[in-house]
């Protein structure tokens, strides 16, 4: 079977379980061939479909996310390894990096904190953006921290990114120019579908309203932000007002940034005044 036919067949098979069936097929075949996806698309006539490709398609058909099958996910300007111990980084979360870039302009944050670091994607993307910065990531999960440290090593950032175990800012006493936060924010009774069903529930759910972790985070932010510092915080599409109130009650200025779909996705909290 030709590569082109294999991709067509796989995409057709995966349509019932994935809105990105063709892309999934391409990523899985590139993984089976151990080549970049762009090479697969450019050199199809010189390639042979490996026997293991069918097994990868079957795993995807059973509901396993592509990122867990391939073990890799692109995020911002980097690629990170992911396992079922961490959330899969999503394009929506890149809104936090965009908000930070807009805040700092031509300046660079010197000290960056990532609360709930997971795979380390946010922190490592920020360090890639600002090569002079140093970063600290905190996560309660030892397994997630192992993934994050491995990613820092692979990206050559182990000397700039320190990861430690903690419950949010537990054990953190310094102040930071930039704080990145993507906490659990799904209400415990909200029905979920698709890939997210395979991701760690502790990184998804946050009480009856999805606000439990925001209530814990908001009071500690003023003591973590350096003068002129900013915290960029991911929120659910309907949580702008409720989380903004939690932050404002701590004396923080709050602005919002929308994602590519136009949803309120990131709150920008500053110690003094609003970023607009």
Tens-place pLDDT, residues 190-201: 888 888 889 999
**Span 130-189, pLDDT tens digits:** 999 999 999 999 999 999 999 999 999 999 999 999 999 999 999 999 999 999 999 998
Distance CA 22, CA 1 (A): 17
Structure tokens at 191: 């029905």
The angle formed by the CA atoms of residues 120, 126 and 131, to the nearest 5 degrees, is 120
Task: Give the model's pLDDT for residue 172.
Answer: 95
Q: Is the pTM of this model over 0.85?
A: yes
Distance CA 216, CA 231 (A): 15
In the chain, ranges of CATH 1.10.8 domains: 3-63
Q: What is the mean pLDDT of residues 51-66?
A: 96
**Span 88-135, pLDDT tens digits:** 999 999 999 999 999 999 999 999 999 999 999 999 999 999 999 999
Report the percent of the chain where pLDDT is more than 90: 91
Task: Give the model's pLDDT for residue 273.
Answer: 44
Tell me the CATH number for domain 76-270: 3.40.50.150
The angle formed by the CA atoms of residues 268, 104 and 212, to the nearest 5 degrees, is 20
Distance CA 268, CA 233 (A): 7
1.10.8, 1.10.150, 1.10.20, 3.90.700: CATH of 3-63? 1.10.8
Structure tokens at 240: 């702008």
Count Cβ atoms below 10 Å from residue 91 Cβ, excluding itself.
12
In the chain, ranges of CATH 3.40.50.150 domains: 76-270
**Span 210-224, pLDDT tens digits:** 999 999 999 999 999
Strands 176-181 and 111-115: parallel
Task: Give the model's pLDDT for residue 274.
Answer: 39
Task: Give the model's pLDDT for residue 179.
Answer: 98
Task: Give the model's pLDDT for residue 272.
Answer: 63
Backbone angles phi, psi at 269, to 5 degrees: -110, 130
Task: Give the model's pLDDT for residue 43.
Answer: 83
Q: Are 161 and 127 in contact (CB under 8 A)?
A: yes
């Amino acid at each position: 079977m030709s590569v082109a036919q294999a991709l067509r067949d796989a995409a057709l098979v995966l349509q019932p379980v994935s809105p990105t069936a063709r892309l999934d097929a391409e990523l899985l075949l590139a993984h089976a061939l151990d080549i970049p996806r762009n090479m697969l698309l450019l050199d199809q006539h010189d390639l042979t479909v490996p026997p293991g490709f069918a097994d990868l398609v079957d795993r995807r058909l059973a509901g396993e996310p592509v990122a867990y099958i391939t073990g890799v996910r692109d995020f911002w300007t980097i690629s990170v390894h992911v396992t079922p111990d961490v959330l899969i980084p999503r394009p929506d979360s890149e809104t936090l990096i965009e908000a930070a870039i807009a805040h700092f302009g031509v300046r660079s944050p010197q000290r960056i904190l990532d609360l709930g670091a997971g795979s380390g994607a946010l922190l490592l993307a920020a360090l890639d953006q600002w090569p002079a910065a140093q970063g600290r990531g905190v996560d309660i999960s030892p397994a997630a921290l192992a993934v994050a440290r491995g990613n820092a090593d692979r990206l050559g950032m182990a000397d700039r990114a320190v990861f430690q175990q903690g419950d949010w800012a537990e054990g953190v006493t310094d102040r930071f120019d930039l704080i990145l936060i993507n906490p659990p924010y799904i209400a415990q009774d909200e029905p979920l579908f698709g890939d997210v069903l395979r991701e760690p529930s502790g990184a998804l759910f946050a009480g009856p309203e999805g606000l439990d972790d925001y209530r814990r985070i908001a009071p500690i932010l003023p003591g973590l932000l350096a003068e002129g510092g900013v915290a960029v915080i991911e929120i659910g599409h309907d949580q702008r007002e409720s989380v903004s109130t939690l932050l404002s009650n701590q004396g923080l200025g709050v602005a919002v940034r929308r994602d590519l779909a136009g949803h309120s996705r990131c709150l920008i909290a500053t110690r003094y005044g609003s970023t607009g």
